[in-house]
A and B are shown apart, each in its own frame.
Chain A
Amino acid sequence: AQSVTQPDIHITVSEGASLELRCNYSYGATPYLFWYVQSPGQGLQLLLKYFSGDTLVQGIKGFEAEFKRSQSSFNLRKPSVHWSDAAEYFCAVGSSGTYKYIFGTGTRLKVLA
């Protein structure tokens, strides 16, 4: 069965520091992978997605993610965090065989000034 694991519930970083949010998935075929961000009181916004090809994908707001098939991971990174990046981040996998999506439990990011 498909699953998505985000092992870090909370992460705190200082403004200007680098960031990596972890995401591991379980899926039999090539997954379609997504990262979404949810600002307080808002809906979810797509940051980036991976379907095929280059395993390093660039997204909005300076985020990038790397697909590593051997590790079943799709970690999100940003070289320098801004205070406005404080939010909750969700990793998700879409199935190529069905129309179902599975989301991780989310990682809440706190940014210290």
Chain B
Amino acid sequence: EAQVTQNPRYLITVTGKKLTVTCSQNMNHEYMSWYRQDPGLGLRQIYYSMNVEVTDKGDVPEGYKVSRKEKRNFPLILESPSPNQTSLYFCASSLGLAGGLYEQYFGPGTRLTVT
């Protein structure tokens, strides 16, 4: 089954404790992206990757890191989480061969709480 998986689905952590949210897709997509969803703000793009070793900032990259060492995986790293990063996070992938031409496939989401 074609899918985007994220782990963990739920995470409660404390301020400053480094964490990684994993994302994996089995559709051989070039493009992967991370979003955060907050009430009243919709989805905001954090980082995206056009292919292996190629990443770029979205609209809200501060406090986050990403890497793309393999085509299928795109982990989101919070090196020193803060309470304002409490949010619902989504990973997505698409063919991405022509900019924003293709629809994205979304993972189920990771609800992160930073206390």
Contacts and interface: CB of A to CB of B under 8 A. Distances in A.
A78 to B, nearest CB: 19
B68 interface: no
A51 to B, nearest CB: 6
With most chain A CB atoms within 10 A of its CB, the pick from B42, B56, B58 is B42
A44 interface: yes
A44 B99 contact: no
Interface in B14-62: 31, 33, 35, 40-45, 48, 50, 56, 58-59
B44 A44 contact: no
Contacts, number: 71
Given A96-B100, A96-B101, A99-B56, A43 B42 contact: no
A32 B40 CA distance: 23
Contact of B42 (A46, A93, A105): A105
A100 B44 contact: no
Give the interface size class of chain B: 20 to 34
Interface in B91-115: 92, 96, 98-109
Interface of B: 4, 31, 33, 35, 40-45, 48, 50, 56, 58-59, 90, 92, 96, 98-109
Interface of A: 6, 9, 32, 34, 36, 42-46, 49, 51, 90, 92-106
Given A46-B103, A90-B42, 13 more contacts: A34-B103, A43-B4, A44-B43, A44-B90, A46-B104, A49-B103, A51-B101, A92-B43, A96-B98, A96-B99, A103-B42, A103-B43, A103-B45
3 closest pairs, A vs B, by CB? A94-B100, A43-B106, A105-B42
